[in-house]
Amino acid sequence: MSTEIDDHAEHDDIIYPSAIPFLLIHLSALAAIWTGVTWQAIAICVTLYWLRIFAIGAGYHRYFSHRAYSTSRAFQFVLAVLSQTTMQKSVLWWASKHRHHHLHSDTVEDVHSPRHKGFVYSHLGWIFARKHDLPDFAKIADLTRYPELMWLHKFELLPAIVLAVLCFLLAGWSGLIVGFVWSTVLVYHGTFCINSLAHVSGSKRYVTGDDSRNNWLLAIFTMGEGWHNNHHAYQSSVRQGFRWWEIDPTYYLLRGLSWLGLVWDLKTPPVQVLRNEQRLGAKVIDRAAQQLAARFNAERIALAIAAALHAPELSALQEALARAHHRTSEMLKALPVPHIPTREEFLHEARAMFARTRSLDEIVDHAYELLLASVGSRLATPIELRSSPKRI
């Protein structure tokens, strides 16, 4: 019952009226029944799909969100206009939400985590949530200093409207519906799949502390964005396909633009990352350790310990743990307490869970500390232990 209430509270902020234009775009795709489907319109659709998928990856994502390369102010504006023809809000909004995603990837604070908020919400529901309606300008201070980007933020749909009119002028109603609308819907879901599917399905080469995965099929349809685990391992890289066989057309095109002098300072991952030999940061180690510790039921372990000890022994342990406060893990390490998993068990579980990393021992040690601290806090509160046996 409480879970249903929590789920409702999590999703009751969806602004349904603002979702109506999004639904209408999808429904208007059916108008092709009356407009017909011409070869000219199909050519426009295919061209606009790939052009705008490139704009998503090269513009919204690798440039505005991660600054993975440098460019001129004029070409920056071109990228912004091209990106906003996709009808995925302004570059300021997009970059703000994406930077927030990386700060809190697959935690409860993530804006679109399938792990915590469900697949459909992570795919598209979050876009219509009131709390995500405005960008966090503090996260994009490097972008808000450009008046032209602020102007585009104010008139975020203008590039898409201009493109829609051009499609109509070029190929009539079929050009508008098939060329513009069909490609827009396809670009929507190609992009959204990175938020949802790329955190659910695929392989993991790197320990990133989240659920990001490499998905070769998504990489094909998104021009390289599907190498998502690579991206989370080294976010500022302009190249997301780290191996020669990981096709990344967005990177290839940006490399070509660099030869023309339109972009420069293309950042690529260091050799240590490519070889998966880098030391992980404290935040990643902490998140991975939490995932590992969660594989062991701290409450059940505490109950097993309590059941195995005689009353005087249990009382003495509880008193000692209560006095230890935040040092309960050290206390449990020093005492011959039954039912505590060994470090070897932790290491075995970690090897099954995570990709190869030089920081595995650090993750295991931290996870072991987290579990002991959690068990210790439960043992130190007799009331909880007496109220929980039915959950064994």
Tell me the CA end-to-end span of the chain in Å, nearest whole number: 21
Rounded to two decimals, the pTM is 0.88
Which of 272, 294, 314 marks a domain boundary?
272
Q: Which helix or strand (DSSP H or E) is residue 231 part of?
A: helix 228-233
The answer on 190 and 85 residing in a single domain is: yes
The Cα 193–Cα 182 span in angstroms is 17
Q: Looking at the domain assignment, is residue 277 inside a domain?
A: no
> Would you state the pLDDT for residue 81?
98
Instruction: For residue 112, give the nearest of 10, 18, 6 by alpha carbon.
Output: 10
Q: Which residues contact 338 (CB under 8 A, 6 or more apart)?
A: 304, 305, 308, 309
> Would you state the pLDDT for residue 2?
44
| Spatial contact of 197 and 122, defined as CB atoms under 8 Å apart | no
Q: Looking at the domain assignment, is residue 119 inside a domain?
A: yes
> Would you state the pLDDT for residue 336?
66
Side-chain-facing half-sphere of 90: CA atoms under 13 Å: 23
Count other Cβ atoms within 10 Å, centred on residue 244.
6
39: exposed, middle or buried (C-beta count within 10 Å: 0-12, 13-18, 19+)? exposed
The Cα 42–Cα 253 span in angstroms is 23
Q: Looking at the domain assignment, is residue 203 inside a domain?
A: yes
CA angle 224, 48, 227 (to 5 degrees): 10
The Cα 326–Cα 377 span in angstroms is 9
Q: Looking at the domain assignment, is residue 247 inside a domain?
A: yes
- Tally of domains within the chain: 2
The answer on 353 and 226 residing in a single domain is: no
Instruction: Write the DSSP symbol of residue 341.
Output: P
Greatest alpha-carbon pair distance for the chain in Å reads 87
The answer on 301 and 202 residing in a single domain is: no
The Cα 109–Cα 104 span in angstroms is 6
Q: Looking at the domain assignment, is residue 181 inside a domain?
A: yes
> Would you state the pLDDT for residue 56?
98
Instruction: For residue 355, give the nearest of 242, 193, 187 by alpha carbon.
Output: 242
102: exposed, middle or buried (C-beta count within 10 Å: 0-12, 13-18, 19+)? middle
Q: Looking at the domain assignment, is residue 364 inside a domain?
A: yes
> Would you state the pLDDT for residue 10?
52
Q: Which helix or strand (DSSP H or E) is residue 198 part of?
A: none
Q: Which residues contact 84 (CB under 8 A, 6 or more apart)?
A: 90, 91, 152, 156, 157, 158, 159, 160
The answer on 206 and 289 residing in a single domain is: no
The Cα 242–Cα 274 span in angstroms is 7
> Would you state the pLDDT for residue 16?
63
Residue 120: both structure tokens together: 């459909």
Per-residue pLDDT of the chain (392 residues; tens, 9 = 90+): 444 444 445 555 666 677 888 999 999 999 999 999 999 999 999 999 999 999 999 999 999 999 999 999 999 999 999 999 999 999 999 999 999 999 999 999 999 999 988 999 999 989 888 888 889 999 999 999 999 999 999 999 999 999 999 999 999 999 999 999 999 999 999 999 999 999 999 999 999 999 999 999 999 999 999 999 999 999 999 999 999 999 999 999 999 999 999 999 999 999 999 999 999 999 999 999 999 998 888 888 877 777 777 677 667 766 666 666 666 666 666 666 667 788 888 899 999 999 999 999 999 989 988 887 887 777 767 544 444 444 43
Domain of 311 in residue numbering reads as 282-391
Instruction: For residue 206, give the nearest of 240, 238, 178 by alpha carbon.
Output: 240
Count other Cβ atoms within 10 Å, centred on residue 300.
15
The answer on 332 and 210 residing in a single domain is: no
Instruction: Write the DSSP symbol of residue 209.
Output: S
Side-chain-facing half-sphere of 48: CA atoms under 13 Å: 29
Q: Which residue do the tokens 């809000």 mark?
A: 89
The answer on 296 and 238 residing in a single domain is: no
> Would you state the pLDDT for residue 331?
62
The answer on 134 and 32 residing in a single domain is: yes
> Would you state the pLDDT for residue 250?
98
Instruction: Write the DSSP symbol of residue 1.
Output: -
Which of 223, 247, 272 marks a domain boundary?
272
Helices (H) and strands (E) in the chain, counts: 23, 2
| Spatial contact of 372 and 324, defined as CB atoms under 8 Å apart | no
The answer on 337 and 248 residing in a single domain is: no
The answer on 288 and 266 residing in a single domain is: no
Backbone angles phi, psi at 56, to 5 degrees: -60, -50
> Would you state the pLDDT for residue 20?
84
The answer on 383 and 291 residing in a single domain is: yes
The Cα 301–Cα 311 span in angstroms is 17
Which of 220, 243, 272 marks a domain boundary?
272
Q: How many whole angstroms from its chain centre is CA 184?
A: 22
Q: Which residues contact 177 (CB under 8 A, 6 or more apart)?
A: 28, 29, 31, 32, 35, 41
> Would you state the pLDDT for residue 21?
86
| E strands in the chain | 70-71, 263-264
The Cα 19–Cα 124 span in angstroms is 10
Q: Looking at the domain assignment, is residue 233 inside a domain?
A: yes
